[in-house]
């Protein structure tokens, strides 16, 4: 579930707020899954991938939000 949310956030990085809204819960869910599987003694590559993809998607969404905001400020004067 975390990888799906993170991946959806990555798809919507250009829609600034939608990417962040999907990526951050994806990172949280993936981190919980990774923590629980690690405490059980199992490796969970899917949860780790969800953390990585979600973090990258959130960062790119934040960057696009900043760039879009700066461009809108320049256009409005």
Burial pattern 28-54, b for ≥16 Cβ within 10 A else e, equals bbbbebbeebeeeeeebeebbbbbebb
pLDDT digits (tens, 9 = 90+) for 54-73: 999 889 888 888 888 777 77
pTM comes to 0.83
pLDDT digits (tens, 9 = 90+) for 10-41: 888 777 678 888 889 999 999 999 999 999 99
């Amino acid at each position: 579930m975390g990888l799906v949310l993170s991946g959806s956030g990555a798809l919507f990085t250009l829609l600034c707020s939608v990417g962040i809204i999907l990526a951050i819960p994806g990172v949280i869910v993936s981190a919980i899954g990774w923590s629980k599987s690690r405490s059980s003694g199992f490796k969970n590559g899917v949860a780790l991938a969800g953390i990585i993809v979600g973090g990258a998607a959130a960062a790119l969404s934040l960057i696009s939000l900043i760039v879009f905001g700066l461009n809108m400020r320049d256009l409005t004067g």
